[in-house]
Amino acid sequence: MSTLFTKIINGDIPGRFVWRDPEVVAFLSIGPLAPGHTLVVPVEEVDRWTDASPETLAKAMIVAQRIGKVQVEAFGSERAGLLVAGYEIDHLHVHVWPSNSMKDYDFAAVDTDPDPAELEANAEKIREGLRAAGYAEFVPEA
């Protein structure tokens, strides 16, 4: 059975994609910790990060780092937060978001009803930043 993320990757469920290549995709979280909160997800269905091949894990982290650098610039944050939790969806995913302190890691504080227009504007900020950083070939259109 396909995971929720596989359904998003395949277009069965909509997603606000900011990155797409043959191995990894990235799209905005629908429950963001901060504006621009992005999930980096391998196309391959891997449940636990510890079960991922070194190549899959490395690729996800490379893309997460690229997105994190853009988030810091685009959203004026001190750092980019990164977390691999793995309990919400049984498909490896890396959370990356603009962060200014440890309080930004509180998943009890997610926005459970984000404005769709704001989500799209935040996705476009990340897309623009990735294009400017030289990754245009991996940045899908809105």
CATH of the domain at 48: 3.30.428.10
Q: Is 93 a catalytic residue?
A: yes
- Classify residue 54: in a domain, yes or no: yes
- Classify residue 66: in a domain, yes or no: yes
- Classify residue 139: in a domain, yes or no: no
> What is the C-alpha to C-alpha distance for residues 70 and 96, in angstroms, rounded to an integer?
11
- Classify residue 138: in a domain, yes or no: no
pLDDT score at 87: 83
> What is the C-alpha to C-alpha distance for residues 46 and 7, in angstroms, rounded to an integer?
14
> What is the C-alpha to C-alpha distance for residues 57 and 63, in angstroms, rounded to an integer?
10
123 near 131, Cβ under 8 Å?
no
- Classify residue 67: in a domain, yes or no: yes
Q: How many domains does the chain have?
A: 1
What range defines the domain where residue 102 resides? 4-131
Q: What is the mean pLDDT of residues 94-112?
A: 93
From 37, 91, 93, 95, active-site residue: 93
In three-state secondary structure terms, 65 is helix
In three-state secondary structure terms, 12 is coil
DSSP state letter for 31: S
pLDDT above 80 (res 106) = yes
Q: Mind listing the pLDDT tens digit for each residue in 52-102?
A: 999 999 999 999 999 999 999 999 999 999 999 888 899 999 999 999 999
Name the token pair of 36: 């621009």
pLDDT score at 120: 97
pTM, to two decimals = 0.96
Q: Considering only CA atoms, which of 24, 5, 14, 4 is closest in space to residue 64?
A: 24
- Classify residue 140: in a domain, yes or no: no
Q: Mind listing the pLDDT tens digit for each residue in 1-53?
A: 699 999 999 999 999 999 999 999 999 999 999 999 999 999 999 999 999 99
- Classify residue 110: in a domain, yes or no: yes
SS (H, E, C) 90-140: CCCCEEEEEECCHHHHCHHHCCCCCCHHHHHHHHHHHHHHHHHHHHHHHCC
- Classify residue 24: in a domain, yes or no: yes
> What is the C-alpha to C-alpha distance for residues 126 and 28, in angstroms, rounded to an integer?
10
